[in-house]
Chain A
Amino acid sequence: MALDRRQFLFIGGGTLAAGGAVVAFLSQRDPERSVDLTVIPEPPPREPRGSDLIIDNNAVLPKQHIATLSALVDAIYPGAVAAGAFDYIMQQLRRRDMQGARRILMRGAAQSHRVAIANVNAAVVKATPEQQVEVLQAMLEGAGAKGAFSPGEFVQFMVALTLEGLFAHPVYGGNIDGAGWKLIDYEGACRAPTLKAPL
């Protein structure tokens, strides 16, 4: 009801629609917080829809970042990549309003690589799942901070995106054939059979 609904809206509105503003959605921070005033990018002329994708798939991220972020997604939730969570993230990063987020993920990929080398003596993609989680935990605690980049918020953002890629409707590019819903036996209304395209 009430609070959940509003948390729901705040969290979501911040997570994706803020486009570059990392939002507190987890318990480490006030869950009702929304967007940090200082990191808002220039507003787009209007809210883009699916047809407003501005970059093609090949230009979303450098290859090395794709590999790193994909590995992190599977580290966050084992099996998430096979269920389509990383496909979802790539799809989202093509949106005009996600370009701020894309920059954060690129910085996060680079910094996680550095933290991995320093902490587990291996690149993220070569590290074991346990080591990858170790890297993420270290970043949650502040490892890899650089300038305005907050490694903790990066990890939180990645968790949010991963869960969206697992459990949001497949029309958004993840949760392939409902693979994420099968993981949790989800049979509820958010399967939205009438939904044929992103709203």
Chain B
Amino acid sequence: MTDSADVVVIGSGAGGAPLALELARAGVKVVVLERGKYHKREDFHYDELGVARRDFLVPSARTDPHIVMETGKAAERSNEGWIAVCVGGGTVHWSGFAYRWRPEDFRIRDLLGPIAGATHANWPISYDELEPFYTKVDAEVGISGPTDEGEDQVGPRSKPYPLPPVATHEAAGALLDEAAKRLGARCTITPRAVLSQPYQGRQACHYHDVCGSFGCNVGAKGSTMEALIPKALATGNCEVIAEARVHRIETDATGAATAVVYRDAAGVDHSVATRAVVVAASAVESVRLLLMSTSESHPDGIGNSDGQLGRNFMFSTLSKAHGSFDYAKTPKWREVFASRAPFLGRSTASYYMPRDQKAGVIKGGGLGFLFPAGGPVFQSELVAARGEGLALGAALKERVERYWKGQRQIDCETFGEYLPNDGTRVDLDPTVTDSLGLPAARVLIDRHPQDLKVSEYLGQRGAEILDAAGANDVWITSLGGSTKHLPMGGCRMGDDPRTSYVDRDCRVHGAPNVFVSDGSVFPSSGGWPPTMTIMANSFRVAAGLVDAFKQRDL
């Protein structure tokens, strides 16, 4: 068993794998420790119950919980905040919506100014500094995207997408495009980390009706397991150790990390000595590990002398609009939606910066349109609960069967900033432990009222577009919601150690060879989901680490 490495990377998902690849390419010996299993493509069945409704990809809340405490609600033992535990992490079951953030996302403090009760901050880096690394993600992962986005929709691009967009439902897409246009907005095809053509030895998408929630059994989805880790392994400089539960980072008297301790599937502890550690275990678990790794030099957790670790935690602020296109009410919909093409794939950033003083919304966010995700059980559950109350008996049967056979539904998901605040943070639960007997992470959640305004604003815009598209019924759900599967913050990046946890290179203030490279370093939560930005930042951190090794700074 490997007992030393130049760099130990904890986590193999969006935050860990890009960095591991770049270090390995530069000749740095890397060990990636991944808590979950190393699945093969053939392990990924489209088994709704087994994969998406059991513990195939996330730990059980019974054995390895997060304790979630929302203001005004009872504490809950939960699996919220886990993304996925396997080689590839959350990129295994993501939908592959490959949104870049916009330049505004990196300077939110400048845009919004001070807001009482919020701790929002600018990033210490700009979109321009990250752009080359977004482009690198495009190329390495294989992003399929449109050619007509334009800077009204995304920030400046140095290169076009390497692949044309995936096939979408043309008639439904046209409905939305025209509806948005009538409202003064513009939809474009959603960029996807899903291969529209064979790419780098991987097969193109075979267009199943489910994508998110499941691993891809042909490797067309751009998980790090498919797109990055094989390249890292091929260098000969990278080893991935699966089913390795890291529970401690050892540090010496100077505060530097010396080794990483993990427990294998047989319950045996191993130590890997290292020159540098990169923590990329996803936001909640990264904070937890760093808090648990106390020592004489770091009595409150690594680099936590200023108490910044776990603070400024965030999710995305969410709302959803839905539109149903009923064949009985409007017979032409049967023809319009006759194609079973699974991807609707339309997005708009036309409401990203509304500067709407009347609505009280300066910065909005992105809207993504899609056919309802999930398998038949999940979709039927949502249908059962739609409206005023739970349908039962003949009403339930009629509602479910009409949903599947007599209509088509389009959903719109909106993503706005989750304003960080003192009430939203991660710490260690004082009583609840995990299956190793270690403290469970406790996620404290408090919502800023501004988030609800943004959520309402964006949900209404989505509903307007669906209404303009001709939907027979339009409704809004999840107002002021938060996407617990998109955790960010807790290890804020910044130049001032008193208000941030890592520096602009994502090096922990006060721990010279400990780095963090997942979403936990984000100072803001953006107007689109963070996965592309996590990967781009990981490549950026890797570049800095490679330089540090060359300069013998590590």
Of A53-61, A111-119, A143-151, A163-171, the stretch lying at the interface with chain B is: A163-171
Q: How far is the CB of B192 from chain A (nearest CB, A)?
A: 10
In the bound complex, residues from chain A placing their C-beta under 8 Å from that of B372 are 4
Task: Tell me, yes or no, whether A123 is within 8 Å of chain B by CB.
Answer: no
Interface size, chain B (Cβ < 8 Å): 85
Instruction: Give residues of chain B (103-124) contacting chain A, Cβ–Cβ below 8 Å.
Output: none
Task: Tell me, yes or no, whether B183 is within 8 Å of chain A by CB.
Answer: no
Of B4-12, B140-148, B173-181, B376-384, the stretch lying at the interface with chain A is: B376-384
A residues adjacent to B (C-beta < 8 A): 1-19, 21, 25-28, 31-38, 40-41, 43-44, 47, 75-79, 97, 129-130, 132-133, 136-137, 140, 155-156, 159-160, 163-164, 166-169, 171-172, 180-181, 183-192, 194-195, 198-199
In the bound complex, residues from chain B placing their C-beta under 8 Å from that of A16 are 49, 53-54
Q: How far is the CB of B237 from chain A (nearest CB, A)?
A: 33
Q: Assess the A28–B320 pair: CB atoms within 8 A.
A: no
Cβ-closest chain A residue relative to B383:
A163
Instruction: Give residues of chain B (263-286) contacting chain A, Cβ–Cβ below 8 Å.
Output: none
Q: How far is the CB of A96 from chain B (nearest CB, A)?
A: 11
Q: Assess the A3–B481 pair: CB atoms within 8 A.
A: yes
In the bound complex, residues from chain B placing their C-beta under 8 Å from that of A166 are 377, 380
Q: Assess the A140–B380 pair: CB atoms within 8 A.
A: no
In the bound complex, residues from chain A placing their C-beta under 8 Å from that of B413 are 1-4
Other 8 A-B pairs with CB < 8 A, given A5-B485, A189-B209: A3-B483, A4-B213, A4-B378, A163-B380, A167-B376, A190-B47, A198-B49, A199-B56
Q: Assess the A13–B47 pair: CB atoms within 8 A.
A: no
Q: Assess the B61–A13 pair: CB atoms within 8 A.
A: yes
Q: Assess the B393–A4 pair: CB atoms within 8 A.
A: no
In the bound complex, residues from chain A placing their C-beta under 8 Å from that of B477 are 27
Task: Tell me, yes or no, whether B548 is within 8 Å of chain A by CB.
Answer: no
Q: Assess the B389–A9 pair: CB atoms within 8 A.
A: no
Q: Assess the A41–B62 pair: CB atoms within 8 A.
A: yes
Interface string of B286-325 (1 = CB under 8 A from A): 0000000000000000000000000000001010100000
In the bound complex, residues from chain B placing their C-beta under 8 Å from that of A137 are 392
Q: How far is the CB of B49 from chain A (nearest CB, A)?
A: 4
Task: Tell me, yes or no, whether B208 is within 8 Å of chain A by CB.
Answer: yes
In the bound complex, residues from chain B placing their C-beta under 8 Å from that of A14 are 61, 79
Q: Assess the A185–B404 pair: CB atoms within 8 A.
A: yes
A17 vs B435: C-alpha distance when bound (angstroms): 15
Q: Assess the B62–A26 pair: CB atoms within 8 A.
A: no
A-B contact pairs, 9 of them (CB 8 A): A6-B484, A8-B373, A9-B58, A34-B77, A47-B55, A77-B397, A78-B397, A164-B377, A190-B375
In the bound complex, residues from chain B placing their C-beta under 8 Å from that of A10 are 78-80, 484
A183 vs B406: C-alpha distance when bound (angstroms): 12
Of B92-100, B416-424, B492-500, B505-513, the stretch lying at the interface with chain A is: B92-100
Q: Assess the A37–B76 pair: CB atoms within 8 A.
A: yes
Q: How far is the CB of B232 from chain A (nearest CB, A)?
A: 26
Q: A8-B373, A190-B48 are in contact. Are A43 and B435 (CB under 8 A)?
A: yes
Cβ-closest chain B residue relative to A75:
B393
In the bound complex, residues from chain B placing their C-beta under 8 Å from that of A32 are 80, 481-482, 484
Cβ-closest chain B residue relative to A47:
B55
Q: Assess the A43–B63 pair: CB atoms within 8 A.
A: yes
Interface string of B370-412 (1 = CB under 8 A from A): 1011111110110011110110111011001101110000010
Q: How far is the CB of A182 from chain B (nearest CB, A)?
A: 11
Task: Tell me, yes or no, whether B164 is within 8 Å of chain A by CB.
Answer: no
Q: Assess the A75–B392 pair: CB atoms within 8 A.
A: yes
A47 vs B64: C-alpha distance when bound (angstroms): 12
Q: Assess the B390–A28 pair: CB atoms within 8 A.
A: yes
Q: Assess the B484–A5 pair: CB atoms within 8 A.
A: no
Q: Assess the A169–B76 pair: CB atoms within 8 A.
A: no
A189 vs B374: C-alpha distance when bound (angstroms): 10
Q: Assess the A76–B208 pair: CB atoms within 8 A.
A: no
Q: How far is the CB of A169 from chain B (nearest CB, A)?
A: 5
Q: Assess the A190–B483 pair: CB atoms within 8 A.
A: no
Q: How far is the CB of B101 from chain A (nearest CB, A)?
A: 15
In the bound complex, residues from chain B placing their C-beta under 8 Å from that of A79 are 397
Q: How far is the CB of B383 from chain A (nearest CB, A)?
A: 9
Q: How far is the CB of A99 from chain B (nearest CB, A)?
A: 12
Q: A12-B54, A188-B210, A190-B376 are in contact. Are A1 and B481 (CB under 8 A)?
A: no
In the bound complex, residues from chain B placing their C-beta under 8 Å from that of A40 are 61-62, 65, 77
Q: Assess the A169–B47 pair: CB atoms within 8 A.
A: yes
| CB contact between B405 and one of A4, A97, A185, A199 (< 8 Å): that residue | A185
Task: Tell me, yes or no, whether B354 is within 8 Å of chain A by CB.
Answer: no
Residue among B46, B76, B376, B481 with the most chain A CB within 10 A? Answer: B376
In the bound complex, residues from chain A placing their C-beta under 8 Å from that of B62 are 17-19, 21, 35, 40-41, 43-44, 97
A150 vs B485: C-alpha distance when bound (angstroms): 28
Residue among A3, A76, A137, A198 with the most chain B CB within 10 A? Answer: A3
Interface string of B157-191 (1 = CB under 8 A from A): 00000000000000000000000000000000000
A180 vs B49: C-alpha distance when bound (angstroms): 14
Residue among A130, A183, A188 with the most chain B CB within 10 A? Answer: A188
A195 vs B374: C-alpha distance when bound (angstroms): 18
Q: Assess the B378–A35 pair: CB atoms within 8 A.
A: no
Q: Assess the B393–A189 pair: CB atoms within 8 A.
A: no
Task: Tell me, yes or no, whether B132 is within 8 Å of chain A by CB.
Answer: no
Task: Tell me, yes or no, whether B426 is within 8 Å of chain A by CB.
Answer: no
A155 vs B389: C-alpha distance when bound (angstroms): 13
Task: Tell me, yes or no, whether B529 is within 8 Å of chain A by CB.
Answer: yes
In the bound complex, residues from chain A placing their C-beta under 8 Å from that of B486 are 2, 6
Task: Tell me, yes or no, whether B514 is within 8 Å of chain A by CB.
Answer: no
Of B15-23, B24-32, B67-75, B251-259, the stretch lying at the interface with chain A is: B67-75
Q: Assess the B390–A155 pair: CB atoms within 8 A.
A: yes
In the bound complex, residues from chain A placing their C-beta under 8 Å from that of B355 are none
Q: A47-B60, A163-B377, A189-B46 are in contact. Are A37 and B481 (CB under 8 A)?
A: no
Q: Assess the A26–B393 pair: CB atoms within 8 A.
A: no
A105 vs B403: C-alpha distance when bound (angstroms): 29
Task: Tell me, yes or no, whether B368 is within 8 Å of chain A by CB.
Answer: yes
In the bound complex, residues from chain B placing their C-beta under 8 Å from that of A12 are 49, 52-54, 378
| CB contact between B45 and one of A1, A133, A195 (< 8 Å): that residue | A195
Q: A6-B484, A17-B60, A18-B61 are in contact. Are A37 and B77 (CB under 8 A)?
A: yes
Q: Assess the B80–A34 pair: CB atoms within 8 A.
A: yes
Task: Tell me, yes or no, whether B470 is within 8 Å of chain A by CB.
Answer: no
In the bound complex, residues from chain A placing their C-beta under 8 Å from that of B403 are 184
Task: Tell me, yes or no, whether B57 is within 8 Å of chain A by CB.
Answer: yes
Q: How far is the CB of A34 from chain B (nearest CB, A)?
A: 4
Q: Assess the A133–B392 pair: CB atoms within 8 A.
A: yes
Cβ-closest chain A residue relative to B52:
A8
Q: A167-B375, A186-B376, A188-B376 are in contact. Are A78 and B384 (CB under 8 A)?
A: no
